[in-house]
Amino acid sequence: MRVTKKIREEQIAILETVYAGAKPALHFRNPFECLIAVMLSAQCTDKRVNVVTERLFQTADTPEEMLRLTLPELEAEIRDCGLYHSKAKHILATCEILLRDFGGEVPDDFEALQKLPGVGRKTANVVESVAFHHPAIAVDTHVFRVANRLQLAKGTTPLAVEKGLQKVIPKEKWSAAHHWLIWHGRKICKARKPLCASCPLAMVCPSAEA
Protein backbone atom coordinates (compact mmCIF):
# COMPACT_ATOMS: atom_id res chain seq x y z
CA MET A 1 0.00 0.00 0.00
CA ARG A 2 1.28 3.44 -0.92
CA VAL A 3 0.47 5.84 1.89
CA THR A 4 -0.71 9.06 0.29
CA LYS A 5 -1.68 12.36 1.86
CA LYS A 6 -5.34 11.29 1.61
CA ILE A 7 -4.64 8.02 3.44
CA ARG A 8 -2.75 9.84 6.18
CA GLU A 9 -5.69 12.21 6.60
CA GLU A 10 -8.00 9.20 6.89
CA GLN A 11 -5.68 7.60 9.46
CA ILE A 12 -5.75 10.75 11.56
CA ALA A 13 -9.54 11.02 11.27
CA ILE A 14 -10.00 7.41 12.43
CA LEU A 15 -7.63 7.86 15.35
CA GLU A 16 -9.43 11.05 16.38
CA THR A 17 -12.81 9.32 16.27
CA VAL A 18 -11.79 6.12 18.05
CA TYR A 19 -9.73 7.79 20.78
CA ALA A 20 -11.68 11.03 21.21
CA GLY A 21 -11.15 12.42 24.69
CA ALA A 22 -8.15 10.20 25.45
CA LYS A 23 -6.32 11.39 28.54
CA PRO A 24 -2.92 10.75 30.12
CA ALA A 25 -2.73 7.54 32.12
CA LEU A 26 -0.41 9.11 34.70
CA HIS A 27 -2.03 10.68 37.77
CA PHE A 28 -0.94 14.17 38.81
CA ARG A 29 -2.44 17.39 40.16
CA ASN A 30 0.01 20.08 39.06
CA PRO A 31 3.08 20.63 36.84
CA PHE A 32 5.52 19.45 39.53
CA GLU A 33 3.71 16.16 40.06
CA CYS A 34 3.45 15.77 36.28
CA LEU A 35 7.20 16.27 35.88
CA ILE A 36 8.08 13.78 38.61
CA ALA A 37 5.61 11.19 37.33
CA VAL A 38 7.00 11.40 33.79
CA MET A 39 10.56 11.16 35.08
CA LEU A 40 9.59 8.00 36.96
CA SER A 41 7.87 6.49 33.92
CA ALA A 42 11.09 5.69 32.05
CA GLN A 43 11.10 1.94 31.42
CA CYS A 44 8.15 1.56 33.78
CA THR A 45 4.41 1.20 33.21
CA ASP A 46 2.12 4.12 33.97
CA LYS A 47 0.10 1.81 36.21
CA ARG A 48 3.14 1.11 38.38
CA VAL A 49 4.13 4.79 38.42
CA ASN A 50 0.66 5.71 39.70
CA VAL A 51 1.06 3.28 42.59
CA VAL A 52 4.43 4.80 43.46
CA THR A 53 3.37 8.45 43.13
CA GLU A 54 0.21 7.92 45.18
CA ARG A 55 2.52 6.91 48.01
CA LEU A 56 5.32 9.39 47.27
CA PHE A 57 3.16 12.49 46.89
CA GLN A 58 1.62 11.92 50.32
CA THR A 59 5.11 12.49 51.69
CA ALA A 60 6.51 14.98 49.20
CA ASP A 61 4.54 16.85 46.56
CA THR A 62 6.69 19.99 46.31
CA PRO A 63 10.41 20.50 45.59
CA GLU A 64 10.95 21.63 49.19
CA GLU A 65 9.36 18.51 50.64
CA MET A 66 11.16 16.26 48.19
CA LEU A 67 14.51 17.67 49.30
CA ARG A 68 13.72 16.79 52.91
CA LEU A 69 14.16 13.17 51.83
CA THR A 70 17.65 11.73 51.81
CA LEU A 71 18.79 9.89 48.70
CA PRO A 72 18.31 6.47 50.37
CA GLU A 73 14.85 7.50 51.58
CA LEU A 74 13.76 8.59 48.11
CA GLU A 75 15.24 5.44 46.60
CA ALA A 76 13.15 3.38 49.02
CA GLU A 77 10.01 5.29 48.01
CA ILE A 78 10.50 4.71 44.28
CA ARG A 79 12.32 1.36 44.33
CA ASP A 80 9.51 -0.52 42.55
CA CYS A 81 9.73 1.86 39.56
CA GLY A 82 13.04 0.46 38.34
CA LEU A 83 16.21 2.45 37.67
CA TYR A 84 15.54 3.96 41.08
CA HIS A 85 19.18 4.90 41.81
CA SER A 86 19.49 7.26 38.84
CA LYS A 87 15.87 8.45 39.05
CA ALA A 88 16.27 9.43 42.71
CA LYS A 89 19.49 11.36 41.98
CA HIS A 90 17.86 13.16 39.04
CA ILE A 91 14.73 14.05 41.02
CA LEU A 92 16.68 15.55 43.93
CA ALA A 93 19.03 17.45 41.58
CA THR A 94 16.03 18.74 39.62
CA CYS A 95 14.31 19.92 42.81
CA GLU A 96 17.45 21.83 43.82
CA ILE A 97 17.46 23.61 40.45
CA LEU A 98 13.73 24.37 40.63
CA LEU A 99 14.21 26.05 44.01
CA ARG A 100 17.43 27.84 43.07
CA ASP A 101 16.51 29.09 39.60
CA PHE A 102 12.72 29.00 39.25
CA GLY A 103 11.26 29.88 42.64
CA GLY A 104 10.21 26.29 43.21
CA GLU A 105 8.05 26.21 40.09
CA VAL A 106 8.39 24.01 37.01
CA PRO A 107 9.43 26.28 34.13
CA ASP A 108 6.98 26.61 31.27
CA ASP A 109 9.85 26.63 28.79
CA PHE A 110 10.88 23.74 26.58
CA GLU A 111 14.61 24.51 26.56
CA ALA A 112 14.72 25.10 30.33
CA LEU A 113 12.94 21.82 30.97
CA GLN A 114 15.49 19.89 28.91
CA LYS A 115 18.30 21.28 31.07
CA LEU A 116 16.88 19.63 34.18
CA PRO A 117 18.66 16.40 35.22
CA GLY A 118 16.92 13.34 33.83
CA VAL A 119 14.65 15.36 31.54
CA GLY A 120 14.99 14.68 27.83
CA ARG A 121 13.02 15.83 24.83
CA LYS A 122 10.19 13.35 25.36
CA THR A 123 9.67 14.32 29.01
CA ALA A 124 9.84 18.03 28.17
CA ASN A 125 7.24 17.56 25.44
CA VAL A 126 4.91 15.71 27.80
CA VAL A 127 5.16 18.42 30.44
CA GLU A 128 4.66 21.20 27.90
CA SER A 129 1.64 19.41 26.43
CA VAL A 130 -0.06 17.91 29.47
CA ALA A 131 0.86 20.30 32.28
CA PHE A 132 0.97 23.58 30.34
CA HIS A 133 -1.39 22.78 27.44
CA HIS A 134 0.99 23.79 24.66
CA PRO A 135 0.92 21.95 21.31
CA ALA A 136 3.54 19.19 21.46
CA ILE A 137 4.01 15.60 20.34
CA ALA A 138 6.04 13.45 22.70
CA VAL A 139 7.36 10.35 20.99
CA ASP A 140 7.49 7.37 23.33
CA THR A 141 7.83 3.74 22.30
CA HIS A 142 4.11 3.46 21.41
CA VAL A 143 4.02 6.63 19.31
CA PHE A 144 7.24 5.64 17.56
CA ARG A 145 5.93 2.16 16.71
CA VAL A 146 2.45 3.18 15.59
CA ALA A 147 3.65 6.13 13.49
CA ASN A 148 6.12 3.91 11.64
CA ARG A 149 3.72 1.02 11.11
CA LEU A 150 1.06 3.34 9.72
CA GLN A 151 3.74 5.27 7.81
CA LEU A 152 2.01 8.30 9.23
CA ALA A 153 5.54 9.45 9.97
CA LYS A 154 8.59 7.31 9.25
CA GLY A 155 11.90 7.64 11.04
CA THR A 156 14.67 5.75 12.76
CA THR A 157 14.82 8.17 15.70
CA PRO A 158 12.14 9.67 17.96
CA LEU A 159 13.09 13.16 16.77
CA ALA A 160 12.59 12.21 13.12
CA VAL A 161 9.17 10.75 13.92
CA GLU A 162 8.23 13.80 15.99
CA LYS A 163 9.08 16.16 13.13
CA GLY A 164 7.25 13.92 10.65
CA LEU A 165 4.10 13.88 12.78
CA GLN A 166 4.25 17.65 13.16
CA LYS A 167 4.13 17.97 9.37
CA VAL A 168 1.07 15.77 8.82
CA ILE A 169 -1.03 16.55 11.92
CA PRO A 170 -2.56 20.01 12.35
CA LYS A 171 -0.78 21.86 15.17
CA GLU A 172 -3.96 22.33 17.19
CA LYS A 173 -4.28 18.53 17.34
CA TRP A 174 -0.67 17.67 18.28
CA SER A 175 -1.28 17.14 21.98
CA ALA A 176 -4.45 15.13 21.45
CA ALA A 177 -2.81 13.04 18.72
CA HIS A 178 -0.03 12.12 21.13
CA HIS A 179 -2.65 10.39 23.29
CA TRP A 180 -4.46 8.81 20.32
CA LEU A 181 -1.25 7.14 19.19
CA ILE A 182 -0.29 6.02 22.70
CA TRP A 183 -3.65 4.42 23.40
CA HIS A 184 -3.73 2.76 19.98
CA GLY A 185 -0.31 1.29 20.68
CA ARG A 186 -1.41 0.02 24.07
CA LYS A 187 -4.76 -1.40 23.06
CA ILE A 188 -4.36 -2.59 19.46
CA CYS A 189 -1.00 -2.01 17.80
CA LYS A 190 1.02 -3.92 20.38
CA ALA A 191 4.75 -4.43 19.96
CA ARG A 192 4.85 -8.21 19.57
CA LYS A 193 1.36 -9.21 18.51
CA PRO A 194 -0.63 -6.36 16.97
CA LEU A 195 -4.36 -7.04 16.90
CA CYS A 196 -4.74 -6.31 13.20
CA ALA A 197 -7.95 -8.33 12.84
CA SER A 198 -9.76 -5.95 15.18
CA CYS A 199 -7.94 -2.75 14.22
CA PRO A 200 -10.10 0.15 12.97
CA LEU A 201 -7.12 1.31 10.90
CA ALA A 202 -6.42 -2.01 9.17
CA MET A 203 -7.83 -0.87 5.81
CA VAL A 204 -5.49 2.14 5.72
CA CYS A 205 -2.43 0.53 7.30
CA PRO A 206 0.44 -0.72 5.10
CA SER A 207 1.65 -2.97 7.93
CA ALA A 208 -1.68 -4.70 8.65
CA GLU A 209 -1.42 -8.49 8.73
CA ALA A 210 -3.96 -10.38 6.67
Active site (catalytic) residues? 122, 140
Q: Which amino acid is at 75?
A: E
Q: What's the rounded Cα separation, in Å, for the pair 141 and 81?
A: 17
Long-range (24+ apart) CB contacts under 8 A made by 6-12 are 7/204, 8/151, 8/152, 8/168, 10/204, 11/150, 11/152, 11/201, 11/204, 11/205, 12/152, 12/168, 12/169, 12/173, 12/177
